[in-house]
Amino acid sequence: MGDVVSSHLDENRREMITARTRDVMKEFSDVYEKQYAVALFNSVRFEIEGGGGKQSQLLHREDPLAGRSIFSGSLFQYLEENRKWRNRFVSVPNSYTINLYESKTAHEQNLHPKATINCAGYKALTSMEEYMELINTSLPGIQAKVGSYPFIKCASQFPLILWHPHARHHYFCVMTEKEQKKWHAVLQDCVRHSNNGLSEKCTVQTPAFTDAVRLHRQAKGHYGTWDMMCGKPPQILANLVMETLHPELRNVIGPRLKGKMQQRQRDWMLISDAVYRQVLSQTTGQYKALVEACEAQRVPLDARLRTDMDQIITSKEHVSNKIQALVVPKAEQLLRNNVQPYISSILEALMEPTSRGFSEVREVFFKELVEISKNSLNGGGKEKLGDHMERLSMLAFHPVKMQSCYEKVEQLNLEGLQQRFDVSSPSVFVNRAQILMWEQMDNAVYTFEQLLHQSLEAKGEDNMCKTMERCQDRVLKKYDYDSSSVRKKFFREALLQIIIPYMLKQLSPSCSPELPRFKELIFEDFSRFLLVENMFEEVVLQSVSKDIIMAVKEAAVQRKHNLYRDSMVLNNSDPNLLLLGESPQVDWASKFGADESEGSVDGVKGGSSGRRRRQVVSMIQLDGLPLPYESCLEVPGVELIPEEDGEISEGKEENRGADKKGQVKKEEEKDLGPSEDPKSPDSVDEIRYLIHPVVEVGLPVSTQSQSDMTNKTEPITGTITTKDGVQEDVTHVITLVEDVPRKSPCDKLSPQTILQQLVGSKKQEAEEGHQEEAAIKNAIEEIEIAVQGDDSEQVAAVPAAQSDYESSPTPATATDSGSHGDSCLHSPTNEGLDVTNSLNGEDKIIDPVEVEVFLA
């Protein structure tokens, strides 16, 4: 792997990449410094003049994920270094990065993860077909065949792939469809939150950065939305560099790659990742230095703005009027002919899936409240209320519960409009709508928490159901109003993002050459805050804003979209609620006595022993199965891999257990379905068991003989013949004395009944064949001998793993050594095994007690 990268990325080529990155960052820095001063002017002006949008009715909390993690569990990862699959413990903290550990023990000991994945710019895929469609575009002239896999063979039919256009791809798989759906929801949430890397609280840096990126791309001829505007600023800048660098390197290096198609694709992915990491390291350091330089000038710029704000505003209005005289006539003609006919269709395409998504958020929130009310009506108590409220508080951060809401918006389709308005894909609008849905859900949950806590403090816990119902109604009304305001704002912004770049692209050829002459109208002292390029865009925006606002107002009248009319204003409708926004977040676990030692919102322990973090999403657990089965099945065709030593295998306990444990195991095997794949040993006992298998045979003993028997282990030399004819050496026999009720002769089953049970089990557990027929005949002969024998000979109840043998033990016999030198003990769990009585070379009667046989 290293040879491929180093051979194609030699020192000269790496220096070229460094020089190209430095050039792009130099161009961007010049634009950013100008936009920083403009953004500072807009921020100070907004602060002085006030104003803003409508006031939110719901409360907002600052740090809801404090002390929590999102998810943790085990899955299989493909390691490109040795091209093998390995079991990994995955932890997703509240930063939404993915940490991969060697084992769960390593995570609990706070060791450094084996790898950390920042999901910004990635796509979470669930099939190789989707992955192949994206891989086919990686190298020009190379098209993979349908159904062929690129340089990996997935170990199961449930893959999970993180794809990035430039960075390294990550391959995972799980063993069930339910695990795949849950992991996919988690990975999508990591991508969603990682893409939302620009903080809206930064009222200067964020607008300065976004405008600088947009203007830089427009100078290169790229108008419209950009899919790779995701992640933190250094990542976006790395994507900006790779936008032009990546195709050039692909055209130069691609033809020089050798080997088969899959090998060339794999090599190019490794080279692309190495280039991306080199570019990202440069953009990270250079952007940090750029921000520090701009922030150092912020104080003097801010002082000058506050001193000359009136003069600056007057000068801006004067120049804007001059630009309007040039631009507005051309803009109105373009708007009338090429934009207005499509506004309603664009808006309809945006509103349908978005409104369904916000309605689904309301429905999911309402169902959770109904569950809590049911608990109150059924007398759940304080602990139950605390547990339910802990779950509710993290509802917005639960990717599985929120998945149905997100899926509604993913149906957004701008087909037919993308080419006309240069929209690369609707993913930009889908991600933004999903983030807004997540924020509204959390605001609704937080508001309900504060209202319920206030009511319980004032009125106590009497009539709790009615109290919760009143709080629920208040919150749902506020959610309806806020979601309407948020959606209308989202529609306006989306329309502007689609229409403005198109209009700028059409107007720039005729208007841009005229703009430099307007710079002479701006005083030199104000030239840092007033840029004619920005004023030109503001004029174009104002020309189309009126039509967009009118279109959204008309849509609000239609009831199907559940939008409030603008005449319905609820400003300061609940002043008492606003005071609760300053209250700290309610700790329901401690207040209502819930057991916080569980360490998880969903009742699953998480985090280290010294520092437990409550987990938002429960570990993956199939219905009716215990946690040891969670994502712990071995990958087919991979050698056995010992995992955490701390986990104790329950295999031997289940084999020895009572009928109830056997029933549970039967149901578990039924849920899992037939599987021929071996499971990874989880402890030293299991590894020892693999080396020295144990055959367990249980026999009853009379009360006269029990007093002389004790638990003991004796070394034995002998052999056992398995059903496939293989001779195995016996090294030890362990005697375990257990009290088994003595059966009376009248309790003995008839030979016909015993035969029916044996034949029935044979039909259920094995295929018909000559070996099975021979075993049945042998059993019939032994049963007849046992029935004719002395009444002191007892019928052994052999424990069985199958449910047919749990209610009625299967009889077997211990024959006299004088008449039969070898006795064949049959059990449903070890059919076909011939156990030799004369292990030490001498004939004797085997004591009818439980015997364990170790196979060498």
**Residue 235: how many other CB atoms lie within 10 Å:** 24
SS (H, E, C) 160-186: EEEECCCCCCEEEEECCHHHHHHHHHH
- Band of residue 158 on the pLDDT scale cut at 50, 70, 90: very high
Region 94-114: what's the mean pLDDT?
Answer: 92
In a domain, 570, yes or no: no
Indicate if the pLDDT at residue 41 is higher than 90: yes
Burial of residue 325, with CB atoms counted within 10 A of its CB: 0-12 exposed, 13-18 middle, 19 or more buried: exposed
CA distances from residue 442 to 193, 392, 402, 570 in whole angstroms, order as listed: 14, 9, 11, 20
Q: Are residues 638 and 701 in the same domain?
A: no
Report the range of poorest mean pLDDT among 561-570, 674-683, 763-772. 674-683
In a domain, 248, yes or no: yes
Q: In the prediction, which pLDDT does 785 show?
A: 63
**Residue 660: how many other CB atoms lie within 10 Å:** 9
Q: In the prediction, which pLDDT does 667 show?
A: 46
- How far, in Å, CA of 640 to CA of 679, rounded? 8
Instruction: Give the tens place of pLDDT for each residue, 425-454.
Output: 889 999 999 999 999 999 999 999 888 888
Instruction: Give the tens place of pLDDT for each residue, 530-551.
Output: 999 999 999 999 999 998 998 8
**β-bridge pairing 694-697 and 850-855:** antiparallel
Q: Are 485 and 53 in contact (CB under 8 A)?
A: yes
- Which of 247, 272, 291 is where one domain is finished? 291
Q: Are residues 839 and 710 in the same domain?
A: yes
Range picked from 87-101, 579-593, 771-785 for highest mean pLDDT: 87-101
In a domain, 17, yes or no: yes
Q: In the prediction, which pLDDT does 557 show?
A: 79
In a domain, 451, yes or no: no
Q: In the prediction, which pLDDT does 265 show?
A: 85
Q: Are residues 655 and 755 in the same domain?
A: no
In a domain, 355, yes or no: no
Q: In the prediction, which pLDDT does 7 show?
A: 85
Long-range contacts of 315-319 (CB under 8 A, 24+ apart): 315/521, 315/522, 315/523, 315/526, 315/530, 316/530, 316/535, 318/521, 319/518, 319/521, 319/522, 319/530, 319/532, 319/535
Could you identify the residue written with the tokens 């106590």?
460
- Which of 684, 704, 731 is where one domain is finished? 684
Average pLDDT, the chain: 75
Q: In the prediction, which pLDDT does 28 show?
A: 96
In a domain, 391, yes or no: no
Q: In the prediction, which pLDDT does 818 show?
A: 41
Domain count, the chain: 3
Q: In the prediction, which pLDDT does 20 show?
A: 95
Q: What percent of the chain has pLDDT over 90?
A: 39
Q: Are residues 666 and 707 in the same domain?
A: no
Q: Which residues contact 656 (CB under 8 A, 6 or more apart)?
A: 696, 799
- Which of 291, 326, 342 is where one domain is finished? 291
Question: Which domain range does residue 653 map to?
Answer: 627-684
- How far, in Å, CA of 57 to CA of 573, rounded? 8
Q: Are residues 661 and 707 in the same domain?
A: no
Radius of gyration of the chain (CA): 36
In a domain, 389, yes or no: no
Instruction: Give the tens place of pLDDT for each residue, 795-806.
Output: 333 333 343 434
Q: In the prediction, which pLDDT does 255 show?
A: 87
Q: Which token pair is 402?
A: 């929120």
Q: Are residues 721 and 818 in the same domain?
A: yes
Amino acid identity at 419: Q
Instruction: Give the tens place of pLDDT for each residue, 117-146.
Output: 999 999 999 998 888 888 887 776 665 554
Q: Which token pair is 652?
A: 């031997």
**Residue 284: how many other CB atoms lie within 10 Å:** 15
- How far, in Å, CA of 791 to CA of 795, rounded? 10
Q: Are residues 759 and 838 in the same domain?
A: yes
Q: Are residues 770 and 837 in the same domain?
A: yes
Q: In the prediction, which pLDDT does 317 show?
A: 94
In a domain, 496, yes or no: no
Q: Minimal CA–CA distance to 48: which of 313, 314, 317?
A: 313
Q: Are residues 727 and 795 in the same domain?
A: yes
Instruction: Give the tens place of pLDDT for each residue, 604-635.
Output: 333 333 334 577 776 544 333 333 333 433 33
Indicate if the pLDDT at residue 1 is higher than 70: no
Q: Are residues 726 and 840 in the same domain?
A: yes
Q: Are 538 and 545 in contact (CB under 8 A)?
A: no
DSSP 524: G
Q: Which residues contact 285 (CB under 8 A, 6 or more apart)?
A: none
Q: Are residues 677 and 710 in the same domain?
A: no
More confident residue, 491 or 744: 491
Q: Are residues 717 and 792 in the same domain?
A: yes
